[in-house]
Amino acid sequence: MTDYLVYDVFTAAPFGGNQLAIIPDASALPEEQLQKIAREFNFSETSFVYTPQDAAHTARLRIFTPTMEVPFAGHPTIGTAIALADLGHGPEMTLELGIGPIATRAEGGSAAFTTHVPLEILARPEPGLIARALGIAPDDICMEAHPPTMAGVGLPFTLTRLKSRAALARCTPQTDAFREGNARYPGSLDFAQFVYTDEGDTLHARMFAPLDDIPEDPATGSAAAALGAFLAQLGGKDISTRIIQGADMGRPSVIGLEASQGRVSISGQACRTMQGRLTI
């Protein structure tokens, strides 16, 4: 039997944030079962931990959504780092992911990681399509800030700023438009949308990826990293803010974000809510 842990990530309190299943020692699991296990948990991601390929590093992570393996994701990196710290590692750690090693620090229920993966801008999906996918009016999109932009630092998201918090709350994903968008703008995620509004020292955000069986994600660190890198490049200055996500679905999350040219740091808290054993 194989042990598992469940952490709520980007929250200090249970039943908030984003749920993460962690297999702290996945070495005995057959390859063909990994996707099935992630599907069984049915969280937005499940993290499988292995011995690192480089002995100087802490661990190697493989991350699965309910439908696919992804090279990088933020809340599994934060949550797994905190779980490893709770198991006696750290506080300084290097975690091997599909995008390369990530420097991480975790202690006392908090963690932060830094990535230097370059920002990749993949496409500028048309605003009308984005509005249809989000179930809002085209006029709700703040084109003055920037057009909808598909970009990522390891995992792509379409980044769209809305004019108001009320418009953000009105978002109602329309799957047919997501399918159209995925056909026109394919990526390693299926037209995932990270939509936000700016309220000064705080950004409010939501993330939808219904084609990946993630109708809405309570906290998306990889999308936050993409947005930070994008805004730092767009404005030509450093970014330091926090992102509130998950509030509209009853799982409030707080993501710390710092970004400069060529560097993004994501921080947050996590707490263990469950543990058990796989009996397969």
pLDDT reading at 201 higher than 90: no
Q: What is the mean pLDDT of the segment spanning 28-39?
A: 97
The answer to whether the bond into 91 is cis (omega within 30° of 0) is yes
Q: How far apart are CA 130 and CA 121, in angstroms?
A: 17
170's enclosing H/E stretch is helix 165-170
Tell me: the pLDDT tens digits for 218-244? 999 999 999 999 999 999 999 999 999
Question: Amino acid identity, residue 252?
Answer: P
pTM of the model as a whole: 0.95
Q: How far apart are CA 109 and CA 54, in angstroms?
A: 26
* 45 belongs to the catalytic site: yes
Domains of the chain (ranges, CATH numbers): 2-114+268-278 (3.10.310.10), 120-261 (3.10.310.10)
Tokens standing for residue 114: 């830094």
Residue 114: beta bridge partners? 103, 265
E-state strands within the chain = 2-9, 18-23, 45-50, 59-64, 69-70, 92-97, 100-107, 110-115, 120-123, 149-152, 156-161, 193-198, 202-209, 214-217, 239-245, 253-260, 263-278
Give me the catalytic one of 45, 96, 216, 258.
45
Tell me: the pLDDT tens digits for 76-126? 999 999 999 999 998 999 999 999 999 999 999 999 999 999 999 999 999
